[in-house]
Structure 1
Amino acid sequence: MADAKEKVLAQLRALRAQYAAELPNKLQQLRSIATRLNLQWDDELFRTLHRQTHSLTGSGATFGYADLSHAARDLELLLKTILESGVGSQHPGIKQIDGLLAKLERAGKIPASSTATAEPAIFQPRTQRHSIDPDKRLIFVVDDDTNIAHEQCLQYELHGYKVREFHEFSGLQAAIKKDQPLAIIMDVVFPEGDLAGIEKIIEIRQSNTDFPPVIFVSQREDLEARLASVRAGTAAYITKPIDLSNMIETLDRLTTVDLGAPYRILIIDDDASMAYHNALMLQRAGMETEVITEPGRLLDVLPVFQPELILMDLYLPGCTGIELAAVIRQHEAYVGTPIVFFSVETDISKHLAAMRAGGDDFLIKPIAPDHLLATVESRVQRARTITSFMIRDSLTGLLNHTAIEEQLERELGLQQRHDGVLSYALIDLDHFKQVNDHYGHAAGDKVIRGLSRLLRQRFRQTDLLGRYGGEEFVVVLPASDATLAARLLEEVRNDFSRIQFTAADKAFTVSFSAGIASAPPYNSAFTLQEEADRALYRAKQAGRNQILIAKSH
């Protein structure tokens, strides 16, 4: 972590040094443009003067030149007034340009503030951006009933957790400090008292500042016990007999960090120094960025990078940010992509115009790193949530039928372009109708969620998981042949068949069958699905609870 932090600080120092080296030339360009305008007026040249002054207004303070930003702001406001007047060289404010430009040149000679490279608040991440090593998914179970505790622990292990049992309080505090479990499942009632489990947690917590979430379990359902658990800082309270599905969902929620893919942010700004500075800030927070300094590249970059959010300056060469936003919104694929404008512009009417053109937010330069990060994170997360409702199955969170079909086509094309291999598995729960008939549809939903949870735990992030509907599931495994896919699914099948589900205090188990086809030899989505379905049918006919690979013709 320290090395990564120092690397970013070094990159920031390099950007600052580059900005300082380029600043005299930027000021000289402004003076040259002003001189040419005095000799012969040109509307396009005047717009260039305004745009370059606008860039200095936003970038100066970011790189430690606060006086430069203030001086550039004064000149930029005058140029903007002249620009919007429509009278050009006839505007009386023309005479003030030379004086304000001289003031700007003097400000450019003031050394940069030494605080410009101080560590920004962005280096204190709001959330830990790391995944949990499966070997470290350790939980503690504290229960004096050894038989029940042992049976529950076996079920937790089937769901990917490492479990350590305690049947008394002795050694618990030292183990928590040494092994740092992700969560503790603590019974409430012990021989020491009817609230002994809660009292012990309160005692241990007092000497441990970094304490894992605690799930209290008990046959007690009264208010006294529940209030005591709340005062002890409980994360959840589950009554006995324990509903395994509920417990696993609670554990997953408390211990799993679902980072998903990095946010993809497109930055459009003709000021390269500012663009790469903002890109570095976002990269430090774990995001992927692409920078465009020439608006003409936009239509080439969009389909390749597929941004989840676009950060765009309001003033650009050849067009305005508002015009470019309108172009982006002409493409159906980017109608919902958040666009956040940034500028030194404080005119509310300009902000409103940007919003009407399809903008979602407006940030005023210079932008504090924390403000930038918070805006980007909240906008992308909201966009992902909305997209998730559209493409994910509501019961399981897996890709829905349409989405998994589209992803299969995309992955198949990608693998074929690189002469790779891909496997497609069709999974079907065995005798699922009987589960619904005997135990009810709520129990059936638990089974479906249980299998989807196990699939998410066992497969890679690059593998695609979907639900066709009912009891049918799909797994697409890029870069995996049928033999590897069958071995992975066999492990899942074996563990799933041992998981106990409960309904009306009755325990039951469920199995599944699966058929697998791979490309090559089957090189279209249709034939993959057809051959996997045939293999699944053979597995059902052969007695169910097994995995079969499609036969080569």
Structure 2
Amino acid sequence: MSEGHSFMKILLIEDDPSIAQFLSNALTAYRYTVDTAADGQLGLELATQGEYGAILLDLMVPKIDGLSLCRHLRRQGCQTPILMLTAKDSDEDIVTGLDAGADVYVTKPCEPSQLIARIRALLRRQGSAVSSPVLKWGALCLDPGLIQVTYQQQIITLSPKEYSLLELFLRHPQRIFSRSAIIDHLWSIDESPTDAAVTNLIKDLRRRLKSAGITEDVIETVYRLGYRLRVPPQTDKKHNEEQLDWTKQQESYLKQEGIVLFDEALQDFQASLEKRLEVLDRAKSLLQLNHLDSSEIERVTEEAHRLAGGLGTFGYIRGSELARSLEHLFVERLLPKEELYTKFCQLLEELKQEIAKQPTPSTITTPQTASTPLVVVIDDDSSFTEALQQAATKRGFRLEVAPSRVIDCHWNVTEAPSVIVLSLYGTSMQANELSLVQNLKVQFPAIPVLILAKQDRLDERVAIARFRNVRYLLKPVTAQELLETIATVLSRNIVADAKVMVVDDDPVMLKTLTSLLQPCGLQVTTVPHPEMFWHILKFTEPDVLLLDLKMPTFDGIDLCRVVRQDSAYADLPIVVVTAHTDIDSIQQALAAGADDFLCKPIVGSDLVSRVINRIERSRSFGGGNSRSQQQQLKILPEESQAWQSEINKDGLTKVASGQYFHEFLAQVWQHLSGEQAPLSLIICDVDNFTFYNDSHGYQAGNFCLQQIANAIRECINPTSDLLARYGEDKFAVVLPNSNPNAALQVVEQIQFKIANLQISQNSSDKTRQISLSLGITSTVPTTEKSLQNAIAIATQALYAAKARGGNTYCLYPS
């Protein structure tokens, strides 16, 4: 069970109101939060969310009976423990229930204490219980077995919600919980608490603990993000060692869980290969007999398409290429029947040989968690750095001390720090120290630097203020005070409790995406059936949406249109995850409102980087829930023009926004169609931007995009042309009245400007520099032609340029 899932929440599926109320009351008394479903259909929708420690399931429920529901959940890969609670007590009924996938079969009537004991046993087997049954914070102890809280061996009386809240923080000492996350964990779905209810609960718990004699504040408020457990007070050495071990256990938990999920997904995929190949073998036989009709062609094409994405994701790189070639045999249909059969047999045989091999280890993308923040301290005061080292370890930071003379001479780093702390020598800043700050900002342009000064001098503040992202602090400062400041600086980059919703009908792909995203602290909701999409979307309220393109019932294009037509989700980032990169698919997805494409096979680092970047930048625009805040803005008439100008710009790069790009292009298209004048469109993408982000951090990535935007802007005519931020690391250039030759001249200028920036991909390898891939198309707009078609052609040209290795361009005529 994932760290994001609540071990305190139980799903009860029972249609008898009196029994449901009785069981709910009994579970609540034991500090569980209970969601109740009166029928199997609602129970399926709730269980699919995967937010429960256990499911209590009655057999005789309407709409979908208990046995069918249990089988359905297990086929979907649901691992949540299921306890069947029913009046049917024959041996045959028990065997049938267990064979359907239930973990425990309990007959009614059942004593509540026995029921609770069975639930605890299920949770223990699932690994929900921690290795130590008693959770500790200094002298404060919470015993889940006794449902008892003590401080210095004196019992503290807490309400059920206060107890659950304290247990939540003690089980996850490193995690920041937003108010919405606390509501998800502690309240059932039929309750409607506000953020104020969480605030009051926090206050009540703090007051109870204070009245029990705890002088320190157990719960820490993290500005704009939520709450977390404060570092416990220093006690005896043994306790400190226990606390450190527990912290390390929690830090490694998500990563280990992600690896397990990924391994399970790999095993599931390998187990499915036999049936997938059967589809291709059947197609081979039908093709030989000339009986391969349109439905069979569609089936074999779709299977080859799925294989191409899956094989590449799990390390069968050559196999992925062969599967894609099989798909294209039927999509393009260029060969005569005899040659088609020969080529199909050849590719299929090679594919089987590749699948028989072991996947390439270096290409299998295993999940990675965000690393522990690294703080580099440049200071010669050993007593201060030793105290800081001890405090940093307890706080969950890695700290490296570098004497200033070492930095002055030569400093080679294998990992970019999260924060740099520079302590000044004397009462005023020396020339070499100012030079050192400058060198640090050149090497780490987006890394925060904290200057510790002995005296408050205006001239020093002015000199420091000229550098970006540098803070000025005065000594004396304690280790705890400095770490508090560092935590505040870092907290601005934390994506707290972000929600990702993934819609894909392939259960292996759902498990794979979950294994890559969940270890990063993201809450992942998977939707295997598109018909459940809208209900789960409203229930989840995700920060980003990942959609597969081709699915039964409703495909990704349908769902994308549904999202965009609702004003509440008009700005929800949508990423299409697909192996379809043909021009029709690109055109349809862009026209439906997709923000970006992520092509299969999936590369884990690229997936994580794109998702986190979209969440961070979406939140930074509105300081959290940008959609709701924008809807609440009341703009005065005299401010409306300035506001309109501002929302037409991208908040980071200050070039035009993607939305304004489409508006501008539509206006220019209509104008030029009347004049029969040419138009050129350039779409460019930063090569290996994910690697740059991973190497330098997201702040450096932001700065890199700003530099690129400024460079491109210098290559166009600002009075007639338009530069827009078109995606995460994409830009679009609209060139009215420009033929292909004029567009190529602009592209060459852009390449020259980007090369002159000399932005190194990696600080240890100066030869690898940031570059662009560019897709170009030119046309004469008419009322019969579609501007969406021009965008799709430019996008396809971009993908062709990237396929050639990047740092080049492709021109596709419209």
15, 20, 30: which one pairs with 2:280?
A: 30
- Contact kept in structure 2, 1:215 and 1:234, CA below 8 Å: no
Deviation at 1:219, TM superposition (A): 3.6
Deviation at 1:281, TM superposition (A): 0.1
Please tell me whether residue 360 in structure 1 is matched to residue 604 in structure 2: no
Distance, in Å, in 2 between the alignment partners of 1:184 and 1:100 is: 59
Aligned pairs for 1:122-161 within 5 A: 122-123=367-368, 125=370, 128=372
Please tell me whether residue 113 in structure 1 is matched to residue 363 in structure 2: no
- Contact kept in structure 2, 1:328 and 1:335, CA below 8 Å: yes
Deviation at 1:26, TM superposition (A): 0.8
Distance, in Å, in 1 between the alignment partners of 2:627 and 2:474 is: 35
The verdict on how the C-alpha distance between 1:216 and 1:235 changes in structure 2, with shifts beyond 3 A counting, is: farther
Please tell me whether residue 221 in structure 1 is matched to residue 458 in structure 2: yes
Distance, in Å, in 2 between the alignment partners of 1:184 and 1:329 is: 43
Aligned pairs for 1:183-202 within 5 A: 193-195=427-429
Matching residue of 1:88: none
Distance, in Å, in 2 between the alignment partners of 1:295 and 1:51 is: 17
Please tell me whether residue 64 in structure 1 is matched to residue 315 in structure 2: yes
- Contact kept in structure 1, 2:502 and 2:547, CA below 8 Å: yes
Please tell me whether residue 376 in structure 1 is matched to residue 597 in structure 2: no
Please tell me whether residue 53 in structure 1 is matched to residue 298 in structure 2: no
Tell me which amino acid in the other structure corresponds to 1:68: G
Aligned pairs for 1:298-309 within 5 A: 298-309=533-544
- Contact kept in structure 2, 1:345 and 1:364, CA below 8 Å: yes
Ranked by relative contact order (alpha carbons within 8 Å, sequence separation 6 or more), the top structure is 1
Q: What are the superposed Cα offsets for residues 439-473 of structure 1, whole Å, 9 maximum, x if unpaired?
A: xxxxxxxxxxxxxxxxxxxxxxxxxxxxxxxxxxx
Aligned pairs for 1:459-474 within 5 A: none
238, 250, 266: which one pairs with 1:16?
A: 266
The verdict on how the C-alpha distance between 1:238 and 1:392 changes in structure 2, with shifts beyond 3 A counting, is: farther
Q: What are the superposed Cα offsets for residues 168-219 of structure 1, whole Å, 9 maximum, x if unpaired?
A: 97833432333348899999796xx5459x98xx9xxx9xxx9994443634
80, 86, 91: which one pairs with 2:331?
A: 80
Aligned pairs for 1:309-388 within 5 A: 309-348=544-583, 350-387=585-622, 388=624
Please tell me whether residue 171 in structure 1 is matched to residue 171 in structure 2: no
- Contact kept in structure 2, 1:31 and 1:101, CA below 8 Å: no
Deviation at 1:345, TM superposition (A): 2.8
Distance, in Å, in 2 between the alignment partners of 1:248 and 1:5 is: 25
- Contact kept in structure 2, 1:122 and 1:373, CA below 8 Å: no
The verdict on how the C-alpha distance between 1:217 and 1:257 changes in structure 2, with shifts beyond 3 A counting, is: farther
Distance, in Å, in 2 between the alignment partners of 1:195 and 1:352 is: 58
Q: Identity rate of aligned residues, in percent?
A: 23
Matching residue of 1:545: none
Q: What are the superposed Cα offsets for residues 490-537 of structure 1, whole Å, 9 maximum, x if unpaired?
A: xxxxxxxxxxxxxxxxxxxxxxxxxxxxxxxxxxxxxxxxxxxxxxxx
Q: Secondary structure at the match of 1:171?
A: helix
Aligned pairs for 1:430-509 within 5 A: none
Deviation at 1:69, TM superposition (A): 1.0
Deviation at 1:63, TM superposition (A): 1.7
Tell me which amino acid in the other structure corresponds to 2:263: R
Q: Secondary structure at the match of 1:236?
A: strand
Distance, in Å, in 2 between the alignment partners of 1:55 and 1:122 is: 22
The verdict on how the C-alpha distance between 1:213 and 1:56 changes in structure 2, with shifts beyond 3 A counting, is: same
Of 51-60 and 325-334, more deviation after overlay is shown by 325-334
Distance, in Å, in 1 between the alignment partners of 2:541 and 2:285 is: 43
Matching residue of 2:507: 272
Distance, in Å, in 2 between the alignment partners of 1:266 and 1:256 is: 24
Deviation at 1:358, TM superposition (A): 0.6
- Contact kept in structure 2, 1:187 and 1:218, CA below 8 Å: no
The verdict on how the C-alpha distance between 1:318 and 1:41 changes in structure 2, with shifts beyond 3 A counting, is: farther
Structure 2 unaligned residues grouped into runs of 5+ = 1-250, 398-418, 441-446, 635-814
Matching residue of 2:238: none
Matching residue of 1:505: none
Distance, in Å, in 1 between the alignment partners of 2:357 and 2:464 is: 57
Aligned pairs for 1:96-111 within 5 A: 96-97=340-341, 99-101=343-345, 103-110=347-354, 111=356
Distance, in Å, in 2 between the alignment partners of 1:98 and 1:248 is: 68
Tell me which amino acid in the other structure corresponds to 1:323: D
Larger Rg: 1
Tell me which amino acid in the other structure corresponds to 1:76: E
Of 260-269 and 178-187, more deviation after overlay is shown by 178-187
Matching residue of 1:482: none
Deviation at 1:59, TM superposition (A): 0.7
Tell me which amino acid in the other structure corresponds to 1:172: F
- Contact kept in structure 1, 2:503 and 2:526, CA below 8 Å: yes
The verdict on how the C-alpha distance between 1:251 and 1:124 changes in structure 2, with shifts beyond 3 A counting, is: closer
The verdict on how the C-alpha distance between 1:364 and 1:93 changes in structure 2, with shifts beyond 3 A counting, is: farther
Distance, in Å, in 1 between the alignment partners of 2:313 and 2:593 is: 27
Distance, in Å, in 2 between the alignment partners of 1:337 and 1:393 is: 13
Q: What are the superposed Cα offsets for residues 223-254 of structure 1, whole Å, 9 maximum, x if unpaired?
A: 5x8658999x99423699x9xxxx99977743
The verdict on how the C-alpha distance between 1:390 and 1:30 changes in structure 2, with shifts beyond 3 A counting, is: same
Distance, in Å, in 2 between the alignment partners of 1:329 and 1:320 is: 15
Q: TM-score, normalised by structure 1?
A: 0.50
- Contact kept in structure 1, 2:557 and 2:589, CA below 8 Å: yes
- Contact kept in structure 1, 2:423 and 2:453, CA below 8 Å: yes
Deviation at 1:363, TM superposition (A): 1.7
Q: Secondary structure at the match of 2:575?
A: strand
Matching residue of 1:456: none
Distance, in Å, in 2 between the alignment partners of 1:185 and 1:10 is: 38
The verdict on how the C-alpha distance between 1:119 and 1:81 changes in structure 2, with shifts beyond 3 A counting, is: closer
Q: TM-score, normalised by structure 2?
A: 0.36
Deviation at 1:56, TM superposition (A): 0.5
Deviation at 1:117, TM superposition (A): 7.6
The verdict on how the C-alpha distance between 1:211 and 1:36 changes in structure 2, with shifts beyond 3 A counting, is: closer
Distance, in Å, in 2 between the alignment partners of 1:234 and 1:384 is: 20
- Contact kept in structure 2, 1:265 and 1:311, CA below 8 Å: yes
The verdict on how the C-alpha distance between 1:257 and 1:319 changes in structure 2, with shifts beyond 3 A counting, is: closer
- Contact kept in structure 1, 2:454 and 2:474, CA below 8 Å: yes
Tell me which amino acid in the other structure corresponds to 2:499: R
Distance, in Å, in 1 between the alignment partners of 2:609 and 2:261 is: 22
Deviation at 1:3, TM superposition (A): 5.2
* Misfit runs of 4+, over 6 Å: 181-190, 228-231, 247-252, 391-394, 399-402
Q: Secondary structure at the match of 2:360?
A: helix
Structure 1 unaligned residues grouped into runs of 5+ = 86-90, 131-139, 143-167, 403-553
Q: What are the superposed Cα offsets for residues 139-167 of structure 1, whole Å, 9 maximum, x if unpaired?
A: x9x9xxxxxxxxxxxxxxxxxxxxxxxxx
- Contact kept in structure 1, 2:464 and 2:472, CA below 8 Å: no
Distance, in Å, in 2 between the alignment partners of 1:104 and 1:184 is: 55
Deviation at 1:318, TM superposition (A): 4.0
Distance, in Å, in 2 between the alignment partners of 1:184 and 1:56 is: 46
The verdict on how the C-alpha distance between 1:170 and 1:267 changes in structure 2, with shifts beyond 3 A counting, is: closer
The verdict on how the C-alpha distance between 1:249 and 1:366 changes in structure 2, with shifts beyond 3 A counting, is: same
Deviation at 1:55, TM superposition (A): 0.4
Tell me which amino acid in the other structure corresponds to 2:344: L
